Amino acid sequence: MKIVDISPEHENKYYCCLEEWSDEMKEAGDHKQRWYERMKDKGVRVKLAQDENDVIGGMIQYIPIEHSIFAGENLYAVLCIWVHGYKEGIGNFQKKGMGIALLKAAEEDCRELGTNGLVAWGLMIPAFMRASWFKRKGYKVADRSGIMRLLWKPFNEHAVRPRFIKREKKPPKGKDKVNITMFRNGWCPAMNLVYERTLRALKEFEEKVDLVQYDTVDREVLSEWGITDGLYIDGKEIRMGPPPSYNKIRKKIERRARHKKSNFIKQ
């Protein structure tokens, strides 16, 4: 195994999280590519894990925390670390040490860059990006939000504890139409998939909805709302992980549209 920096010939694999076989990744559009192009000059780093046959089976992406979805200073933040684990495509590369090697390489890189530590988020449930995995690698909990934990490994005594950016407010209900509000950052194809499915569903309800979109790469927008990626239908947050199907999103919009129509008739 070897760890390499991303290069132009690897970028398409990175954009689809090594899942070139996945129709869902195609459905997610080119938002991750556009995010990466915007972040290149802001310090985003991507490393890839290759096996003995030079097949890329894992990846890690991390960025200065000042440009991330968290709050902190002079730290780098891991947005995700992923080792391909499906039978489709290149096959299952998990349980071979790629994740450990990627995290170690990122830590060494960040030390060389002169940052004060590395930050990662993790879930308290047995799913992708488990908090327990990072804890076993020496990371400590810095902040909590629901089932999410913000973990970090400070490199020196100057490191300041990072934190989640807290939600400041949420979108309101629509008055006469259904208010659809979407917050999109772009770094995660799973979130982008929800965004694209919602846009498809809205085509059927164009005269019944008001659509508001926010680009949370804009730090001012992120700070104002405290929402990185989100879908709200008439002020109600729709769970985005795992990504809801197109039909589920469509039915939720349709239900609210019927409710609006019913209230209008009563009035």
Token duo for residue 203:
């085509």
Percentage above 70 pLDDT, the chain: 97
- CATH architecture of structural domain 178-266: 3-Layer(aba) Sandwich (3.40)
pLDDT digits (tens, 9 = 90+) for 180-237: 999 999 999 999 999 999 999 999 998 999 999 999 999 999 999 999 999 999 999 9
Confidence of residue 262 (pLDDT cuts 50, 70, 90): low
d(CA 98, CA 59): 9
Please name the residue ranges forming H helices in the chain. Answer: 11-15, 23-27, 31-39, 98-113, 131-136, 189-202, 219-225, 246-266
- Report the mean per-residue pLDDT for the chain: 95
The predicted pLDDT at position 45 comes to 98
> Domain segments of the chain: what residues?
2-163, 178-266
pLDDT digits (tens, 9 = 90+) for 144-172: 999 999 999 999 999 999 999 999 999 99
The CB density around residue 175, as the number of other CB atoms within 10 Å, is 8
CATH number of this structure's domain 2-163: 3.40.630.30
